[in-house]
Amino acid sequence: MPTKSTRTDTRLIRAGHGAGRAAKTVGPAVQKGSTVLLPDAASLYPTDDRLTYGRQGLSAQFALQAALAELENAKAVTLYPSGLAALTGALLAILKAGDEVLVTDVIYKPTRRFCDHVLKRFGISVRYFDPLQSPEDLVGGASDAVRLILMESPGSLSFEMQDMTRVAELARARGILTVADNTWGAGYLYRPLDHGIDISVQALTKYVAGHSDVFMGSAAVNSAKLARELDDGIHNLGWAVAGDEAYQVLRGLRTLPTRLARHGESALAVAAWLRERPEVVEVFHPALPGARGHELWARDFTGACGLFGFALKPAPTAAVDAFLDELSLFGLGFSWGGFESLAISCDAQLKVRKFHPDYGGPLIRLHIGLEDPADLIANLQAGLAAYAAKAG
């Protein structure tokens, strides 16, 4: 029995522990704590996976992991403090000095920066490949040192589609792991694990959270060995996600199907309109019939999100700037997946790529939010008029 104290300082420290019974609410409880109190001395150093410290996660984090496992059709999900951390953390957990990793040339630029400046420093070779290369040539040409293939389909900024299913099949036969950055598919429009890919990574910051106000990432797997490696990796790095943020992401996840349906429908309407504009050379949206990669998208995806690109007819940079500056309903920002529409120019980011296909003119990326698509089209029309005026 604990000693009863009449001293105020001690009673204030000890008061309130376990007071009352928690009501059952729609969302999980948000526990805030670094220290986890254990029931007895024997529990201080358990031989199993028993929870001993708050950084391992508490109620909201566990609820989010369980929900994401349902979303991804996965057996285990590891949480990371950002989408980039999910990719870098997964790579660090698996790769070692002397390994080689094959990375799609259209990978998210911060991931490329990590590969070039961190992996290489740790003695890991990085080779970029053309996403349009055949799976047979890609995997067949891999050296014995290749440990992992990192893919992103549709590709970042330019939306190339890659046959990730076939790559995964061929890679597995050679003992090579596959990772997909599935942020565009959000684990709902495309489930990499169902297609034989070993690790499905996504930036929960984008569509799952859905409100442009929280950072988080995840890596989903079906292999117990990979799950252990990923969990060990994040614990060894000292990363954690907070309960409040896990709650926010879980709240966003509840409405993901409804939001994605609106994003996808509106984006297709805008993409189809842009395709008919004389200022536009080509629209890069894999769900648009006749677009590049449409057949692969139709085979593997169940829907589309709000992110796509298009190329304008060649014109000076001032014309591109005039187009963007006219878009009052589009924020100029580098994220996407929230409720708001966004636009960026892409050419400055394409310079780091190894392969340089001709897109026909300045490349623009749009994220179509939840606004009325008719209003967005009217705003884009004004932007194209400003573009044409500057293009001469």
Active site residues: 55, 108, 181, 206
- Assess contact for 119 and 113: CB atoms under 8 A: no
Smallest CA-to-CA distance from 377 within 294, 251, 254, 271 is with 271
Beta strand pairing status for 100-104 and 125-129? parallel
Residue 79 near residue 64 (C-beta atoms within 8 A) = yes
Name every residue whose Cβ is closer than 8 Å to that of residue 24 and which is 6 or more positions away in sequence: none
Of 207, 190, 158, 183, the C-alpha closest to 84 is 183
The answer to whether 132 and 286 are in contact (CB under 8 A) is: no
Smallest Cα–Cα separation from 90: which of 200, 252, 242, 241? 200
Backbone region of residue 284 per phi and psi (left: phi > 0; alpha: psi in -120 to 50; beta: other values): beta
Number of C-beta neighbours around residue 115 at 10 A = 22
Distance CA 160, CA 265 (A): 20
Q: Angle CA(110)–CA(116)–CA(122) in degrees, nearest 5?
A: 120
Q: Would you report the helix, strand and coil content of the chain in percent, each value rounded to 5?
A: 40, 15, 45
Q: What angle do CA 50, 51, 53 make, to 5 degrees?
A: 145
By the 10 Å C-beta count (0-12 exposed, 13-18 middle, 19+ buried), 162 is classed as buried
Q: Assign 194 to helix, strand or coil.
A: helix
Quick one: which of 362, 363, 365, 381 has its CA closest to 373? 381
Q: Write out the DSSP string of 283-351.
A: EE-TTSTTSTTHHHHHHH-S---SEEEEEEPS--HHHHHHHHHT-TTSB--S--SSSS-EEEE-HHHHT
Q: Is 113 exposed, middle or buried (0-12, 13-18, 19+ CB in 10 A)?
A: middle
